[in-house]
Amino acid sequence: MMHRKFTSRLAATALGIALSGAAFAEPVEDTLTIETDDGEITLVTQAPAPAHLEGALKTIYSGWHFREDDTRGMQKDDFDNPGMVFVDRGMDSWNAAQGANGESCAGCHQGPESMAGLRAVMPRVDAKTGSLMIMEDYINGCVTERMGLEAWGVTSNKMKDMLALISMQSRGEVVNVAVDGPAAPFYEKGKEIYYTRYGQLEMSCANCHEDNYGNFIRADHLSQGQVSGFPVYRLKDAGLVSAQQRFVGCVRDTRAETFKAGSDEFKALELYVASRGNGLSVEGVGVRH
């Protein structure tokens, strides 16, 4: 990792260009205080980097800090956040008797607030099975085993509506993804993927989101690639985007053969990337462009 940074700095020096000024454009200074039905809530969108990122990052920033004024503004009021429509759809789905024998989420779990806190520690290793779980795995576990249905598509609208509803129950809680114990091998696997330069463009996650956050690739203001705001309402897609979906998009853009959403590789990557945001607030449903 250090080697990688060293050589890229060296390259820049060899080109006779000082890495200063525009090369370290700052994230926007702003505070995310959201008007909600229950009053105002202020989220942590900037925090000291967790210990496991020593040598890589000093401060972690939500992707919210890298978006334009209008986009940031939309997330400051639930009334203006287009993602809330999907939370409502998730609520309808939660209460619907949609199982093979009329089961609903509410039938077992009561209100969605029973999920409070879960989003902040996901992905995690399931204590009973030892498997790495992303939220989609838990949802599909219920859908197939308890409701007797076919699994929902990992990136289907139904799935993302439910991700949005469950994520909202942890809004404001601080991300605290375990990286040690049973999570350690998944963390290492995710980290390896994060630093691998994929595709014909030979780009790793780190090339853009660690070495160049704050800079621009064409019109794209590069963020740290934090997933604390996910699922997000993405203006470009006029819909919800999950972290798994975004990983597919990013790796595709390196002219690579992507891993599939929900694959072991992207699950490990999500654990690793989520853990890089330990200390930021879960945003429920962020707004990005």
Residues serving a catalytic function are 250
Interacting residue with other proteins among 197, 239, 263, 289 (CB under 8 A): 197
- # residues near other proteins by CB under 8 A: 39
Pairing of strands 59-61, 46-48: antiparallel
Interacting residue with other proteins among 73, 99, 199, 239 (CB under 8 A): 199
In the complex, minimum distance from the CB of residue 12 to other proteins, in angstroms, rounded to a whole number: 7
φ/ψ region of 280 (left if φ > 0, alpha if ψ in -120 to 50, else beta) reads beta
The structure tokens listed for 17 are 């260009």
- Interface of this chain with other proteins, residues 2 to 41, rule: CB under 8 A: 3-4, 7-8, 10-12, 14-17, 22-23, 25
Interacting residue with other proteins among 70, 77, 188, 216 (CB under 8 A): 216
Interacting residue with other proteins among 47, 60, 168, 248 (CB under 8 A): 248
In the complex, minimum distance from the CB of residue 237 to other proteins, in angstroms, rounded to a whole number: 16
Q: Which stretch binds other proteins (CB under 8 A): 61-69, 110-118, 212-220, 273-281?
A: 212-220
283 closest CA partner among 103, 45, 113, 98: 45
In the complex, minimum distance from the CB of residue 255 to other proteins, in angstroms, rounded to a whole number: 5
Q: For residues 285 and 83, is the Cβ–Cβ distance under 8 A?
A: yes
Q: Which stretch binds other proteins (CB under 8 A): 133-141, 167-175, 245-253, 281-289?
A: 245-253
Token pair 């080697």 is found at: 3
Interacting residue with other proteins among 30, 35, 80, 253 (CB under 8 A): 253
Would you say 204 or 278 has its CB closer to other proteins?
Answer: 204
The structure tokens listed for 101 are 């024998």
Q: For residues 244 and 134, is the Cβ–Cβ distance under 8 A?
A: yes
Would you say 99 or 199 has its CB closer to other proteins?
Answer: 199
Would you say 12 or 96 has its CB closer to other proteins?
Answer: 12
Angle between helices 84-95 and 157-168 in degrees, nearest 10 = 100
Would you say 124 or 288 has its CB closer to other proteins?
Answer: 288
Distance between start and end Cα atoms, the chain = 30
CA separation for the pair 138, 140 (Å, rounded): 5
**DSSP secondary structure string, 32-99?**
-EEEETTEEEE---EEEPPGGGTTT-SEEE-GGGGS-HHHHHHTTBTTT-TTHHHHHHHHHHHHS--S
In the complex, minimum distance from the CB of residue 95 to other proteins, in angstroms, rounded to a whole number: 36
Token pair 């996901």 is found at: 122
Q: Does 252 bind other proteins (CB under 8 A)?
A: yes
Enumerate binding residues for other proteins (CB under 8 A).
3-4, 7-8, 10-12, 14-17, 22-23, 25, 196-203, 207, 211-212, 215-219, 248, 251-258
